[in-house]
Amino acid sequence: MPIQQSDVLYTAVATAENGRDGRVATDDGRLDVVVNPPKEMGGNGAGTNPEQLFAAGYSACFQGALGVVARQEGADVSGSTVTAKVGIGKNEDGFGIIVEISAHIPNVGEAAARDLVEKAHQVCPYSKATRGNITVTLACE
């Protein structure tokens, strides 16, 4: 269910110059990076790229959702990590992305870890935003 503007607690603002081959910066100056296409896409690969930025945001958000779910379930997720792999490739509309989320949760069994990851996927705002739009696969290490 979408939130209303009146429910917004925080808004991140970033501005890009020259698209995938330029610069992206936030209005508060905390993030200011050069972006370049990766070598695999014909670029020089000297800077970061939108897929890396999306992977960083998604993994951090998913880790937060995992913590919320773990607290509700009484599970210990200390020492856990979440890795997001974001791939980009051609599709019928031009280009699209695909995501793989992998969680390492050392203090719970495999079945419990899978359950926590599935539940985190239901509450993570990034997962909600991408649901039905891109393929997201989940894995536990």
Q: Which tens digit of pLDDT belongs to each residue from 14-54?
A: 999 999 999 999 999 999 999 999 999 999 999 999 999 99
Q: Which tens digit of pLDDT belongs to each residue from 60-98?
A: 999 999 999 999 999 999 999 999 999 999 999 999 999
Instruction: Give CA–CA dist 140/3, Å, rounded.
Output: 30
- Confidence class for position 141, pLDDT limits 50, 70, 90: confident
Residue 56 sits in which domain range? 49-140
In the chain the first and final C-alpha atoms are separated, in Å, by 31
Q: Which of 30, 48, 66 is the last residue of a domain?
A: 48
> Which of 65, 77, 68, 61 has the alpha carbon at shortest distance from 112?
77
Q: Are both 36 and 61 inside the same structural domain?
A: no
Q: What number of other Cβ atoms are within 10 A of residue 22's Cβ?
A: 12
Q: Are both 70 and 17 inside the same structural domain?
A: no
Q: Structurally, how many domains does the chain consist of?
A: 2
> Which of 51, 48, 45 has the alpha carbon at shortest distance from 100?
51
